[in-house]
């Protein structure tokens, strides 16, 4: 099969697009970075790609709320085209700001009657959190997390607290194995104390997938740990073949091979 193609969607304020494209290429894909205006001019552009990724940054300056403006652009102008992309069995990934966009646009979690059943709020610390965290994969349902148990990645966000509409919604997502990535730490307390859970997310949720497992959003940045030397303790660890985050991108490419 031809090399899977990855569309990395950027907008004003996005600042992780080149690193994300590089990560997909290191994983064996062929990545192209495109401004959202190109999709507005040609909404059928994604048909030529197998993976769509919305990377991290501060799209449209995070005015109103993090990821909200780009989410509205997608919902009102690109919703049909991206719904077709999703229905075609392709993959969608949202990282940090991209996760916020997926949640608020309805591409990841949606309730036709009440709108998105969850959101990402301000961190409990009330400040921007930039630190490394430990994570554990909860299920193999998510395509991006296959063959992953635990990993360490950096977070860099101010609005990363995952909160559902109500307890029943949280239970439903849990029962459907959609709460697929969680902050990990020593002890059984849930949610974990700060800073193991850097934002206060319900049930220590760091990433969520849709019912198919093909749409995935996460707050940590896997593109910032694709080489062992990216980890701040790399000189004190046994040398690994790759950084923890690279497997997420490899899984996306392997899905089409």
Task: Write out the catalytic residue numbers.
Answer: 96, 221, 223
CA distance 196 to 203: 12
Local structure of residue 205 (DSSP, 8 states): E
Q: How many other CB atoms are there within 10 angstroms of residue 228's CB atom?
A: 17
Sign, CA dihedral 147-151-154-156, equals positive
Closest listed residue to residue 136, CA positions, set 83, 81, 197:
197
Crossing angle between the packed helical segments 17-26 and 246-254, to the nearest 10 degrees = 60
Structure-token pair, residue 163: 């909160």
CB 128 within 8 A of CB 157: yes
Q: For tokens 């997938």, what's the residue?
A: 209
CA atoms within 13 A on the CB side of 60: 16
CA distance 68 to 207: 18
CB 125 within 8 A of CB 176: no
């Amino acid at each position: 099969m031809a090399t899977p193609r990855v569309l990395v969607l950027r907008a004003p304020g996005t600042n992780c697009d080149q690193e994300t494209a590089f990560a997909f290429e290191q994983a064996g894909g062929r990545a192209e970075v495109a401004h959202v205006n190109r999709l507005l001019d040609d909404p059928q552009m994604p048909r030529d790609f197998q993976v769509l990724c919305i990377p991290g940054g501060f799209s449209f300056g995070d005015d109103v709320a993090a990821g909200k403006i780009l989410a509205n652009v997608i919902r009102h102008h690109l919703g049909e085209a991206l719904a077709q992309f999703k229905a075609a069995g392709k993959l969608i990934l949202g990282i940090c700001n991209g996760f916020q966009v997926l949640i608020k646009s309805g591409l990841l979690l949606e309730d036709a009657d009440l709108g998105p059943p969850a959101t990402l709020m301000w961190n409990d610390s009330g400040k921007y959190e930039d630190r490394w965290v430990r994570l554990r994969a909860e299920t193999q349902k998510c395509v991006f997390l296959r063959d992953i148990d635990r990993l360490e990645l950096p977070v860099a966000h101010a609005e990363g607290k995952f909160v559902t509409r109500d307890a029943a919604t949280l239970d439903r997502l849990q029962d459907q194995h959609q709460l697929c990535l969680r902050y990990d730490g020593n002890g059984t307390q849930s949610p974990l104390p700060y800073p193991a859970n850097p934002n206060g997310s319900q049930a220590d949720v760091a990433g969520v997938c849709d019912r198919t497992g093909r749409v995935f959003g996460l707050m940590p940045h896997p593109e910032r740990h694709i080489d062992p030397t990216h980890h701040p303790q790399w000189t004190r660890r046994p040398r690994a073949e790759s950084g923890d985050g690279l497997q997420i991108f490899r899984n996306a490419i392997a899905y089409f091979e």
